[in-house]
Structure 1
Amino acid sequence: MRTWLTPRRLLSGALILLVLIQLVPSWLWNTNPAVVSQPTWDSPQTQALVQRACFDCHSNQTTWPWYSYVAPASWLITRDVISGRRHLNFDDWQSSLARQDRFPLDQQIQREVSRGEMPPSYFTLLHPNAALTDAEKQQLIDGMAKTVQAK
């Protein structure tokens, strides 16, 4: 039994598995639908911060990097974008406002940004320009509160 599990065979098996998982076509969901409706931004600064830190997952203007087409990263990225658009989509703004659950949208944004949950740390590792300083986080929270109130 031990002679069967040689490092060479384990490596070969891992490479074969890596090639086979490429056949799961999650990249078919890597789409950018048309813009339906956008917020009336309170300021160009708020819009710029949101575009920089949030648009890749929370809009229909996602930038799909090369690794978003390679499994298993493609599975995770596609899942995050679909989930992000479902929770808040700046390019389908009226639907996002209509889906406000228990908390108003501005409170949800404040909670997620102030806790450091958005943008996620694993995203900012690959996209350092999306990382926000504490001052930018507060500016984003304040600007989004005004934007949501303007509807």
Structure 2
Amino acid sequence: MRMLVIFIFLSLFGVKVSLAHEGERHIESQPPTLVEDASLLKAINAEYLATIKPIFRRACFDCHSTQTQYPWYHNIPGIKQWIDSDIKEARKHLDMTNDFPFQGHGSPQKDFEAIRKTIQQNTMPPFRYKMMHWDAGLTASEKEGVLKWIDDNQKKVQN
């Protein structure tokens, strides 16, 4: 039975899931484009820190920041490499380590668009992450709060 569980676990993690970002390509490790008004970004970041970061810390930081809380099975050979690869890929798409504006999409506007699309299409976290973390993801009220934050601030950073 134990071998069957290990086999199923490895099978789920062994298949590389690339559907999470649907082939979307992102600018790798480039700092975000600066919006002319630095005080505007500071104000958006202050709101992010107060209301949105706690949500993202719980639901997104394991993959989208350098503050990963690794699960007990991270040290199993093979699984460690898959997890590390997935986290590296996730940070390429969106890195929330240094607060707002994020890194990955190139501009705050594109960050907002990508996060909105992800929430609306319910594509995060990926299925294989949910298999081991059943409570992963955003609640309906968290989604509503994040979308409101995006709505309130996306207009401000549009060029």
TM-score by length of 2: 0.57
Q: Distance in 1 between matches of 2:153 and 2:66?
A: 19
Q: Tell me which amino acid in the other structure corresponds to 1:131.
A: G
Greater shift after overlay, 60-69 or 48-57?
60-69
Q: How many residues align?
A: 115
Displacement of 1:148 in angstroms is: 6.5
Provide structure 2 residue ranges, at least 5 long, that are not aligned to the other structure.
4-9, 11-41
The root-mean-square deviation of aligned C-alpha atoms, in Å, is 3.3
Q: How does 1:5-84 map to 2 (within 5 A)?
A: 40-43=45-48, 44-84=50-90
Provide structure 1 residue ranges, at least 5 long, that are not aligned to the other structure.
1-10, 12-17, 19-37
- Counting aligned pairs with the same residue, the percent is 25
User: What is the SS of the residue equivalent to 1:42?
Assistant: helix
Q: Distance in 1 between matches of 2:147 and 2:130?
A: 18
Q: Residue 115 of structure 1 aligns with which residue?
A: 121
Runs of 4+ in 1 over 3 A off after TM superposition: 92-95, 144-151
Choose 1 or 2 for highest CA Rg: 1
Q: Distance in 2 between matches of 1:106 and 1:117?
A: 15
TM-score by length of 1: 0.60
Displacement of 1:59 in angstroms is: 0.6
Is the 8 Å Cα contact of residues 113 and 119 (structure 1) preserved in structure 2?
A: no
* Pair 1:99-2:103 in alignment: no
Displacement of 1:135 in angstroms is: 2.9
Is the 8 Å Cα contact of residues 56 and 63 (structure 1) preserved in structure 2?
A: yes
